[in-house]
Amino acid sequence: KAGVTQTPRYLIKTRGQQVTLSCSPISGHRSVSWYQQTPGQGLQFLFEYFSETQRNKGNFPGRFSGRQFSNSRSEMNVSTLELGDSALYLCASSFQGEQYFGPGTRLTVT
Amino acid sequence: QKEVEQNSGPLSVPEGAIASLNCTYSDRVSQSFFWYRQYSGKSPELIMSIYSNGDKEDGRFTAQLNKASQYVSLLIRDSQPSDSATYLCAVKEGLSFGAGTTVTVRA
C-alpha cells in the first residue's frame, strides 16, 4: 500500500498570507489527523477528521482550519500567517488509533 | 499538568544494554496507547501499540501498561546504534503526544 503523502513538502510564506496544505491518506483509512511539530512545543494535535467530519480539535486558534473530502483526502488551511506558525506540519492517517505519518510539510513564515 | 509526560532525557545507553522509557498520562479515559520512534529529520513511525494492562513484547521492544497508575513504558533490549532516535508516547487514542525522549546508543 502506498503511504501517506503530503504536498507541498516545503513552503515559504510571508506574514499575513494564507496557506493550504494537502494530505492523501493510506487507501482505506478514513481518519486523518494533523499535527504541528516545533522544537520547543513538540508534536501538537491540530484536528482529526473522520468521514468528512471534524471529530476532534486541539487548542489552536481559528486561523487553523481543515476539511476532508469524500475520498478521505484532507486539506489544512492557515490564514493570516504569523512568524510562530513556522513549523513542520504532519498529517497522519489512522486505523484503530494506530497512526501512520506522512513526510510533513515544512512551512517557513518570514 | 501536561496531559502526557515522558522522562526528559536525553538517555544515553551502551550498545547491548536495556533502554527504559517512561510515560505518564492524566486522562483516565484513555484506552489505547502507542509508542512512536522519530529519527532526526524524519516523521514518527509506529513501533508499538498496547491496550490492556500488562506487558506486550515485539522483538526487542516491550511495552508495559498500568492503567491504575496511568503509566506506560517502553523497554528496548539489546540496544543498537540504530535505536538512537526520539521516542514519543501517545495516549488518548493516539491524539495526545508526549514531548519525547531522545535515546542515544553508544557503540
pLDDT values of chain B reduced to their tens digit, one per residue, 107 residues? 678 999 878 999 999 999 999 999 998 888 899 999 999 999 999 999 999 999 999 999 999 999 999 999 999 999 999 999 999 999 977 788 999 999 999 98
Which range in A36-50, A75-89, B82-96 is most confidently predicted, on average pLDDT?
Answer: A75-89
Amino acid at A31: S
Interface contact flag, A45 B90, Cβ < 8 Å: no
- Mean pLDDT on A27-49: 93
Q: Is B99 on the interface with A (CB under 8 A)?
A: yes
Polymer length of chain A: 110
Query: Amino acid identity, residue B85?
Result: A
Cβ distance of B94 and A97 shorter than 8 Å: yes
- Contact between chains at A97 and B44 (C-beta distance less than 8 A): no
Distance CA(A1)–CA(A70), nearest Å, equals 20
pLDDT value for B27: 86
Phi, psi of A54 (to 5 degrees): -75, 120
Task: Give contacts of B93 with chain A, Cβ < 8 Å.
Answer: 97
Name the β-bridge partners of B85: B103
Can you point out the beta strands (E) in chain B?
4-6, 11-14, 19-25, 33-38, 45-50, 54-58, 61-66, 71-76, 85-91, 96-97, 101-106
Instruction: Return the number of other C-beta atoms located less than 10 Å from residue A69's C-beta.
Output: 12
- Judged by a CB distance cut-off of 8 A, whether residue B9 touches chain A is no
> Looking at residue B1, what is its pLDDT?
66
Q: Note whether A94 contacts B: Cβ–Cβ < 8 A.
A: yes
Q: Between B34, B95, B100, which is nearest A42 by CB?
A: B100
- Strands annotated E in chain A: 5-7, 10-13, 19-24, 31-38, 42-50, 53-57, 64-68, 74-78, 87-95, 98-101, 105-109
Contact between B34 and A98 using a beta-carbon 8 Å cutoff: yes
Q: B94–A103: do the CB atoms touch at under 8 Å?
A: no
